[in-house]
Amino acid sequence: MKKNKITSLFNEKLKVINIGLESFAENLKKEDTSVIQVEWSPPAGGDKEMASILDMLAD
């Protein structure tokens, strides 16, 4: 059942939300696929020390 859903998804016109790396969205756009780009990056740009301090200071 699940497999069928995935198969049917790829047979439909795709609407994509891309989170993070923008180049994925750009590639899809080149293929005329509708994409909404969500800007996202890991907390503190992936700096583990800062991310752990921020965790400690979370509300």
Partner 1 sequence: MSISEANKEAVKRIQNAEPELIGIGTASKDLPDMEDKMILHAGPPVEWEDMSGPMKGAVIGALMYEGWAENEDEAEKLAESGDIIYDSCHHHNAVGPMTGIVSPSMPVWVVENKSYGNKAYCTLNEGLGKVLRFGANGPEVIEKLKWMENTLAPILSDAIELAGSISLKNITSQALHMGDEVHNRNKAGTSLFIREITPYLLETNHSNKDLSDVVEFMAGNEHFYLNLSMPASKATMDAAHGIEESTVITALARNGVEFGIRVSGLGDLWFTGPAQKIDGMYFPGYSQEDACRDIGDSTISETAAVGGFAMAAAPAIVGFVGGDVNDALEFTENMYEITLAENENYSIPYLDFRGTPTGIDVRKVVETGILPAINTGIAHKDPGVGQIGAGLVDPPKNCFEDAVRAFAKKYK
Task: Return residues touching partner 1 (CB under 8 A).
Answer: 41, 43-45, 50, 53-54, 56-57, 59
Closer of 12 and 59 to partner 1 (Cβ): 59
Residue 54 CB, nearest approach to partner 1 (Å): 5
User: At 10, is the secondary structure helix, strand, or coil?
Assistant: coil
C-beta closer to partner 1: residue 14 or 53? 53
What contacts 50, CB < 8 A, 6 or more positions away?
Answer: 43, 44
Tokens 């069928």 belong to residue: 4
C-beta of residue 16 within 8 angstroms of C-beta of residue 32: no
CB of 42 vs partner 1, minimal distance in Å: 10
